[in-house]
Amino acid sequence: MKKRFVIVAILMALLFGGLYQFSVFKKKMMGEYFASMTPPPSPVSIADVKAEVIPNLLTAVGSLEAVRQVTLSPEVSGRISAINFEAGAVVKKGDLLASLNSDPEKGDLARFQAQANLARINTNRTQKLLGVATTKTQLDQFKSQLQDAEGGLARTQAVIAQKEIHAPFDGSIGLRQVNLGQFVNPGQAIATLTDLSELYVNFTLPEQTMGLLAVGQTVRFTLDSQPGKTFEAKINAIEPQIGTETRNIKVQAILPNPDNALSPGMYAKVTVVLPNEQTYPVVPETAIDFTIYGDSVYVLKSAKDDKGQEKLTVDRVFIKTGTRFDNKVAVMTGLKAGEKVVTSGQLKLSPGAQVSLAKEDALADDYQKKLAKPTNE
């Protein structure tokens, strides 16, 4: 029995020892297998870091306003007797646009004209007969009657003129807000008149920028209604007072609008061009990973492997960004001109990862247009 027990114990020891050795061997071989496996290079798009002159810019939002715009309204009350314009019409300075009923005033005008004529005749006649058949007192009475009639005549003519609404300048008429025969009161809106030949660009900037602004500086702006276009204006006025609530400065620029392409009230994204431009490395916005831990880019590195073939890897570099313009970003520190950065495919990367160059950049405008273009099967 003892011999059998010893034999069984030896066989069990050999069995378990063999299983243990096999397990160790299996783990070693699996480790070597996975260690020898390397993931395929991730395809990425790259761009060269270029040194460019960076414009010194201030950005703001604003709106367009007409240099000359007025709400047409009567100075006196009355009933509208004539409307001489159509909505959207272009009128000239002095054109009669609307009239109020002035028949009573025209009657008074005829009466005062008759009184003035009679008083003038009596004055001339008395002047000739003074000292012969008339006295100076009679002459003074006729002169007073003449002055009173002329005063009534001038006042009536002024009231008639107030009942005629003329265009104060060349411009375009807006929507009509009254109808023929309608009774209107002083100041009631009839229509708007806008001169579109020149426009203001009104915007605000923080008070810290006040020392950087000057009349005559160039202002560039874009409009949501006209994407892809950039317009230029010149600063013509800077508010000397700073807003007590917002701590902002009001700035106004002016620009010509000869083809009437722009309209008052448009929302504008404004950029003020300042002097003292400097040169910095510039990269596309898509190359930068903006995070709360800092901004970074993947820089392409090239080396030779054991077989002498080129091996492309990436290193993550933290940078300090500056001005953004035209979908590009100025890099203040961290990069230098001539380096290459990854512009697409960063999500699959880690420091030291091996990469390959993609044939097309999926984020490029040309590639997106190609995808959007329908194809004929």
What is the arithmetic mean of pLDDT over 94-101?
92
Reading the block at residue 375, the tokens are 């194809």
Domain map (residue ranges) of the chain = 42-54+278-371, 58-66+196-277, 75-98+166-189, 102-162
Helix (H) or strand (E) holding 281: strand 267-284
CB 235 within 8 Å of CB 249? no
Reading the block at residue 173, the tokens are 């008429």
DSSP, collapsed to helix, strand or coil, labels residue 124 as helix
Rg (CA), the chain: 43
pLDDT classification of 321: cutoffs 50, 70, 90: confident
What is the arithmetic mean of pLDDT over 323-346?
87
pLDDT classification of 372: cutoffs 50, 70, 90: very low
pLDDT at 26: 75
Residues in a beta bridge with 50: 282
CB 344 within 8 Å of CB 286? yes
pLDDT over 80 at 371, yes or no = no
* Number of residues assigned to the chain: 377
Distance in angstroms (rounded) separating the CA atoms of residues 260 and 66: 11
pLDDT at 131: 66
Reading the block at residue 243, the tokens are 């807003």
pLDDT at 37: 54
| CB contact set of 2 (below 8 Å; sequence gap of 6+) | none
- pTM for this predicted structure: 0.57
**Residue among 196, 200, 174 nearest 73 (CA):** 174
Q: What are phi and psi of 171, to 5 degrees?
A: 175, -170
**Strand pairing report for 42-48 and 355-357:** parallel
Residues in a beta bridge with 247: none
**Strand pairing report for 164-166 and 226-238:** unpaired
Q: Which residue has the higher pLDDT, 373 or 224?
A: 224
pLDDT at 243: 85
- Condensed to tens digits (0 to 9), the pLDDT of residues 145-175 reads 888 888 988 888 888 888 999 999 999 999 9
Question: What CATH fold (topology level) applies to the domain 42-54+278-371?
Answer: 2.40.420
Distance in angstroms (rounded) separating the CA atoms of residues 163 and 13: 123
The CATH classification number of 75-98+166-189 equals 2.40.50.100
58-66+196-277: CATH superfamily: Efflux pump adaptor protein, beta barrel domain (2.40.30.170)
pLDDT at 226: 86
- Condensed to tens digits (0 to 9), the pLDDT of residues 48-89 reads 999 988 777 788 999 999 999 999 999 999 999 999 999 989
pLDDT classification of 251: cutoffs 50, 70, 90: very high
| CB contact set of 58 (below 8 Å; sequence gap of 6+) | 205, 209, 212, 271, 272, 274
- Condensed to tens digits (0 to 9), the pLDDT of residues 300-313 reads 998 876 666 778 88
